[in-house]
C-alpha cells in the first residue's frame, strides 16, 4: 500500500463512519429524542408543520407520557377516552400510537375547518364548540383562545374564514396580525417567532424550555392535605432546585389525592416522587386539555 493511501485511509473511514455516529440508535435515544422522532415522522406523514405539532404536544403534556389531566385526558397527546375510542387509539399512554393519532386527528380537523389555527382550537375545545363559535351561536373559552395563541402565535379570530392566514413551514410575512387591541392570551403565553417555523422538533423544544420573564410555575403534589405538606414540598423543591428562593409566582400548590405518575426519566427522582415543576403552566395546574 502506498504512503498516500495510508494517509487517506483514516479520513475515508471517518467519512464512512460519520453518518452512523450522527444518528442515535433507538437504544441510545433520550426520551425527548424519541418523542421528537415520532413527532417529525408523524408531522411529515400528515403534511403538518413540525414546529406546529411539536408545540401542540408540548403544550398538552410537556412530553410526559404518563400524565392524566383532572378532566381525564390521557398520555402525551392528552386524548380523552371517548375521543381515543372514536379514533381507534387503543393505548393513549403509548406515544408510538398517540402521536401519530394526534397528527392524523389534526390533519382531519384542518381539512374540516380549513386551517391549522382552527384545527388547534378544535383539538383543545372540541370540533362542536369551534363550529358553534364560527356560526355565531357560541364562544370560545379563554383556555382555548390562549391555546391557539401559544401554538400559532395568532389569536383565534385571525383564523376565522376569510382572514387570509395560513401557517406553512416557512414564515408568512404577509399574514394578518392583530393591531392595537390586546388579545385574550395569558401572561405566560409565548407566541412563536416567525423563524421558529423552520426549526426541528428538538430546536423548538429547547426554546420552549427557556422560561421567559413573567413565566409562572405550578407545583402539583401527590396526595395529602394541609399546610405541613405544602411546607415540606417547598423545602424539598428548593433542595432539588439548588436555590433558596422559588421563581416569582411559584407559590401555588395544587393538591390531588389521585394523580398520573411522572416520568422519572425526565424529572429528578427526588422531585418526581412528590411534585412536578412545569415552566409555562398556570399556577396550581398543569398544561391540560379537557
Residue 46, in any domain of the structure? yes
Model confidence over 87-100: pLDDT tens digits?
A: 999 999 999 999 99
8 lies in a domain? no
Residues 202 and 248 reside in one and the same domain: no
| Residue 235 forms part of a structural domain | yes
Looking at the fold, whether 203 and 248 belong to one and the same domain comes out as no
Predicted TM-score (pTM) of this structure: 0.60
Say if residue 147 is in the same domain as residue 222.
Answer: no
My answer on whether 74 and 191 are in the same domain is: yes
**Alpha-carbon gap, residue 39 to 31, rounded angstroms:** 12
**89 and 165 together in one domain:** yes
Domain assignment of residue 66, yes or no = yes
CATH value at residue 47: 1.10.530.10
Going by C-alpha positions, the residue among 289, 281, 209, 290 that lies closest to residue 250 is 281
Whether residue 6 lies inside any domain: the answer is no
pLDDT at 210: 83
Together in a domain, 194 and 242 = no
* 42 and 131 together in one domain: yes
How many structural domains compose the chain?
2
Separation CA 156–CA 166 (nearest Å): 12
Q: Confidence band (pLDDT; 50, 70, 90) for 235?
A: low
| Residue 228 and residue 148 share a domain | no
Closest CA to 56 of 140, 150, 173, 134: 150
Q: Which pLDDT score is estimated for 130? A: 98
Q: Give the pLDDT confidence score for residue 275 in this predicted structure.
A: 38
Q: 248: domain range?
A: 217-279
Residue 22: inside a domain, yes or no? no
**194, 246: one domain:** no
196 in any annotated domain: yes
Same domain, 148 and 221: no
pLDDT digits (tens, 9 = 90+) for 109-133: 999 999 999 999 999 999 999 999 9
Amino acid at each position: 500500500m502506498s504512503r498516500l493511501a495510508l494517509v487517506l485511509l483514516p479520513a475515508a473511514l471517518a467519512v464512512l463512519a460519520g453518518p452512523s455516529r450522527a444518528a442515535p440508535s433507538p437504544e441510545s435515544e433520550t426520551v425527548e429524542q424519541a418523542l421528537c422522532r415520532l413527532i417529525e415522522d408523524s408531522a411529515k406523514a400528515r403534511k403538518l408543520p413540525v414546529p406546529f405539532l411539536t408545540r401542540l404536544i408540548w403544550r398538552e403534556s410537556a412530553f410526559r407520557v404518563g400524565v392524566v389531566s383532572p378532566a381525564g385526558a390521557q398520555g402525551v397527546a392528552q386524548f380523552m377516552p371517548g375521543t381515543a375510542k372514536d379514533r381507534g387509539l387503543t393505548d393513549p399512554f403509548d406515544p408510538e400510537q398517540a402521536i401519530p393519532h394526534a397528527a392524523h386527528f389534526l390533519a382531519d380537523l384542518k381539512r374540516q375547518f380549513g386551517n391549522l389555527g382552527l384545527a388547534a382550537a378544535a383539538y383543545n375545545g372540541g370540533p362542536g364548540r369551534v363550529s358553534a363559535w364560527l356560526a355565531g351561536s357560541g364562544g370560545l373559552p379563554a383556555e382555548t383562545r390562549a391555546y391557539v395563541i401559544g401554538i400559532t402565535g395568532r389569536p383565534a379570530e385571525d383564523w376565522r374564514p376569510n382572514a387570509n392566514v395560513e401557517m406553512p413551514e416557512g414564515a408568512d410575512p404577509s399574514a394578518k396580525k392583530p393591531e392595537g387591541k390586546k388579545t385574550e392570551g395569558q401572561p405566560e403565553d409565548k407566541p412563536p417567532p416567525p423563524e421558529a417555523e423552520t426549526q426541528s422538533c428538538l430546536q423548538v423544544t429547547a426554546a420552549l424550555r427557556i422560561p421567559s420573564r413573567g413565566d409562572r410555575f405550578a407545583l402539583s403534589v401527590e396526595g395529602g392535605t394541609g399546610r405541613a405538606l405544602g411546607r415540606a414540598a417547598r423545602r424539598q423543591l428548593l433542595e432539588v432546585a439548588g436555590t433558596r428562593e422559588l421563581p416569582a409566582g411559584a407559590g401555588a400548590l395544587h393538591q390531588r389525592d389521585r394523580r398520573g405518575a411522572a416520568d422519572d426519566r425526565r424529572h429528578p427522582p427526588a422531585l418526581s416522587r412528590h411534585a412536578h415543576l412545569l415552566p409555562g403552566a398556570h399556577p396550581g395546574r398543569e398544561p391540560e386539555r379537557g
